[in-house]
Structure 1
Amino acid sequence: MGTRYSAVLYSSAPHNTKELEQQLNIAVTRVDLQMSNWRPDSELMRLNELAPGIWMALPTELLWVLHTAIQVGVESAGAFDIATGDLVDAWGFGPKGTPGIASEREALKCQPRLSAATALEFDFGAGRVRKRHPVHLNLSGIAKGFGVDQMARCLEGYGIHDYLVSIDGEFRSRGGKPDGQPWTVAIEAPRAGVRTALGVLQLGDGGLATSGDYRHFYEQDGKRYAHTMDPRLAAPVHNSVASVSVLAPTCMLADAWATALMVLGPEHGSTVAKEYGLSALFVLRDKGEFRQVWIAGKASQDDVSSS
C-alpha cells in the first residue's frame, strides 16, 4: 500500500515470530492485491475496467469492503463515496501523480455524478458484483483500515489477544501491556513537513483512524489542494478541518468515517458523529492556530483519554 505496517504484541504462549511475520505480510499483501488502485492487475482495477452489466466474481474480502463503503456512503449522505476514482486521478492524486487539465476538472464538476450505491449491484449468494453504470472506484479511504483489521484477525487466529497493529496512521488494538497499561498512541499535529504530536489517545478494543489535509497535497496558482475528495463538489475538500481522528469497533469503519467527517466539516460532521455514536477528534484551523473538538460517542473515558 505504499507505506509501512507494524505489530506489537504480548502473549504468554510461545510463538514462532518468523511465522507470525510471514502471515502478517500475507494478510496485508492480499488486501493490496485485491484493492489497490496502483496495481493494474488488482481485482478492483479489473472491476474498474469491466463494462457495465457484466457480472464479476470477487473475493469475499473485497465484497465486504465494497458493501461497507456503500453503507457509510449512505449514512454520511454521500460525503463518503468510493465512486470518485476519476476525481482522484483528475486532481493529481492517482497513480499518474500529476493534475489533469483544469478545463477537464471543471467539466467533471458540471457532470451529474452517480454514487457507488447507485452504480453497483451485488449478488452475495454467488459472490459477485456488476456495475450498472460506468464508474471508477477508489478504496483509498477504507482499504488501509481493512488491512489493519486483517492483521488483527491474523493474530487472533494464533490466540494472541494483546496487540497493537497499524498501517501508517491507522490502528487496531486489543487488551494491553503486561503491566496493565493501555496502548497509547500519538495524534499527529497537522503541520505539513513537521512530525510532532498534538496529543495522545489511550486505546481500548477497536480501531483508530485519522484523515487529514497536511500530508498529501500540492499548491497550484496560489491555492492548496489536498487528497480527500468531496464527492458532492467533485473537487478536493475545502473547509476548516485540518484532521479528524475516529474511534470505531473496526479500523475499516474508523477509516471510512474519518474521511466522511473530514468532508462533512465541523458542524455537520459533529452532528453526524453524535447520531451514529462515533468518538471523534476534530482538529480545526482557527486564525493560524489549532482548535480541538472532541465528540464522545460510545467509547467511555475508561477506553479513551486525550491530552
Structure 2
Amino acid sequence: MRYRNIPLLITAACALSACDLSPVPQAMVLEGKTMGTVWRVTLAGVDATRRYALQQAIQQQLDADDGTLSTWKPDSMLSQFNRYQGEAPQPISADMADIVTAALHIGAQTGGAMDITVGPLVNLWGFGPTKQPAQTPTVAQIAAAKAQTGLQHLRVIETAQGQWLQKDLPGLYVDLSTMGEGYATDHLARLMEREGINNYLVSVGGAVLSRGQNAQGNPWRVAIQKPTDRENAVQARVDLQGHGISTSGSYRNYYELDGKRISHVIDPVTGRPIEHKLVSATVIATTALEADGWDTGLMVLGSDKAKALALKQHLAVYLISKEGDRFISWMSPQFAAFLLFD
C-alpha cells in the first residue's frame, strides 16, 4: 500500500525563525523510508552512541507495520484478508483490530465519508497497486466498484481468545492507507517510550506526534504547509502540546486524465475523486491515528460539512479552501488553542 508521497506538515525542532541560531544543543535526527513515504524521528537529550540501534529498531517497527497494512505486499495480513472470498471471521493482530475499530468509529461519525472499504474505487482510479487508467472510468465501472464497498459489511470481533475481522461481502477490499501513517507514528511514539526517551518528535508521512521538549528546552513546533505543489511555504505554526497531528490534502497526490486533475481523495458516495474547494484539512488529536482518520473524512466532506462536523464533535481542525487564486483558512475553537503567532 502506498501512502501520501510527500508530507503535508513541516516538522521543526525549534521555532522556524530561530533554527539557525548558534550555538544551540544538537538534536539527534533519524530518517528513512516506509510505506511509500518517509519517516523522521527527532530526539532531544539522547546519547549519540544510540543512533545505530535506534535507527534499526525504528525501521524494524515500521517494516512490521507495513507487513500488516500493505496492499502492495501479497503476504501482508491485510492482503491475505482481502484475497479471502468467504464470510468466516479471519484472525488478525490486536494492532490491526485497533486500527479497523478506530476506522469504523470515525467512518460512522463522518456518515461514511471516511470509508476504509473504498479499495475497489481507489484501485479503479489508479491510486492502489493497479496502474492509472488510460481513460476516465465509466459510470458502469464506478457503480460496479461501489457495489463492493460499505462499512456495514465489515466487523471486528474481539474475544478472550483473540481478534478476528469478518466481512459479509466476499469481494470486500479493505484499504487502510487513510490511517496508516497515524498508526505507524503512534507506534514510533510507543517505541520511544519503551526506550526510555521522553523528548521526541516522530512522523511518518503527514502524521506527526510529539512529547516533551526539543533540544533547546522549548515545545516542539510543527508548521502546516501552504497547500500548493509549487512552493514549500508555511501556512500556520502549532505547538502540539504532546498531541498528534495529521494533514490530508488534495494538491500533492494527483495525476492528469482527460484534461482534468484527478485527486487521490475518493468520495465513497459518488465513487469519484473529490472536486470541491477544500484543499487541506489538518486535525490535532490525542493520537496520530485518530488525527489521521478524521482528516481524511473531513477532506471528503468539503468545507461546509467539515466545519459543521468539527464544531459538533469538538475537534481541533484547520481547513484551507481555494477560492480562485486565494487560500481561505478556517479553524475550530479547539485548534486555536494550539496555534502559535510568533
Q: TM-score range by the shorter chain?
A: over 0.9
Amino acid at match of 1:258: D
Counterparts in 2 of 1:219 and 1:293: CA distance versus 1, 3 Å: same
Counterparts in 2 of 1:95 and 1:25: CA distance versus 1, 3 Å: same
| Alignment correspondent of 1:34 | 68
| Alignment correspondent of 1:90 | 124
Contact 2:157 2:165 in 1 (8 A): yes
Question: Shift of the alpha carbon at 1:85?
Answer: 0.5
Amino acid at match of 2:333: A
Alpha-carbon distance in structure 2 between the residues aligned to 1:271 and 1:284: 15
Which SS does the other structure have where 1:143 is aligned?
Answer: helix
Tell me whether 15-24 or 114-123 shows the greater mean CA deviation: 114-123
| Alignment correspondent of 1:132 | 168
| Alignment correspondent of 2:185 | 148
The answer to whether residue 320 in structure 2 is matched with residue 283 in structure 1 is yes
Contact 2:149 2:173 in 1 (8 A): no
Tell me whether 226-235 or 214-223 shows the greater mean CA deviation: 214-223
Which SS does the other structure have where 2:174 is aligned?
Answer: coil
Tell me whether 186-195 or 147-156 shows the greater mean CA deviation: 186-195
Question: Shift of the alpha carbon at 1:300?
Answer: 6.4
| Alignment correspondent of 2:292 | 255
Alpha-carbon distance in structure 2 between the residues aligned to 1:51 and 1:280: 39
Which SS does the other structure have where 1:118 is aligned?
Answer: helix
Amino acid at match of 2:152: T
| Alignment correspondent of 1:66 | 100
Alpha-carbon distance in structure 2 between the residues aligned to 1:78 and 1:123: 20
Counterparts in 2 of 1:115 and 1:72: CA distance versus 1, 3 Å: farther
Contact 1:193 1:215 in 2 (8 A): no
Counterparts in 2 of 1:276 and 1:151: CA distance versus 1, 3 Å: same
Alpha-carbon distance in structure 2 between the residues aligned to 1:142 and 1:296: 24
Alpha-carbon distance in structure 2 between the residues aligned to 1:112 and 1:21: 42
Which SS does the other structure have where 2:97 is aligned?
Answer: helix
Question: Shift of the alpha carbon at 1:115?
Answer: 5.5
- Which segments of 5 or more consecutive residues in structure 1 lack a partner in the other structure? none
Contact 2:236 2:340 in 1 (8 A): no
Alpha-carbon distance in structure 2 between the residues aligned to 1:100 and 1:94: 15
The answer to whether residue 257 in structure 2 is matched with residue 223 in structure 1 is no
Counterparts in 2 of 1:306 and 1:280: CA distance versus 1, 3 Å: farther
Question: Shift of the alpha carbon at 1:199?
Answer: 2.7
Amino acid at match of 2:256: E
After superposition, residues 101-140 of structure 1 pair within 5 angstroms as 102-104=136-138, 106-109=140-143, 113=147, 116-125=150-159, 126-133=162-169, 134-140=171-177
Equivalent in 51, 57, 69 of residue 23 of structure 1:
57
Alpha-carbon distance in structure 2 between the residues aligned to 1:106 and 1:285: 31
Which SS does the other structure have where 1:138 is aligned?
Answer: coil
Amino acid at match of 2:322: R
Which SS does the other structure have where 1:274 is aligned?
Answer: helix
Question: Shift of the alpha carbon at 1:105?
Answer: 5.3
Tell me whether 284-293 or 106-115 shows the greater mean CA deviation: 106-115
Which SS does the other structure have where 1:6 is aligned?
Answer: strand
Amino acid at match of 1:128: W
The answer to whether residue 81 in structure 2 is matched with residue 44 in structure 1 is no
Which SS does the other structure have where 1:4 is aligned?
Answer: strand
Question: Shift of the alpha carbon at 1:114?
Answer: 6.3
Count of matched residue pairs:
305
Amino acid at match of 2:340: S
Amino acid at match of 2:41: A
**Sequence identity (%):** 29
TM-score (norm 1): 0.92
Query: C-alpha deviations, 1:209-261, integer Å up to 9, x for none?
Result: 00001111112222211001111111111211011111011111111101011
Question: Shift of the alpha carbon at 1:279?
Answer: 0.8
Equivalent in 55, 73, 81 of residue 89 of structure 2:
55
> How well do the aligned residues superpose, as a CA RMSD in angstroms?
2.1
Contact 1:91 1:100 in 2 (8 A): no
- Which segments of 5 or more consecutive residues in structure 2 lack a partner in the other structure? 1-34
| Alignment correspondent of 2:44 | 10
Query: C-alpha deviations, 1:45-100, integer Å up to 9, x for none?
Result: 11001013122111111111111100100011111000000000101111223126
| Alignment correspondent of 2:113 | 79
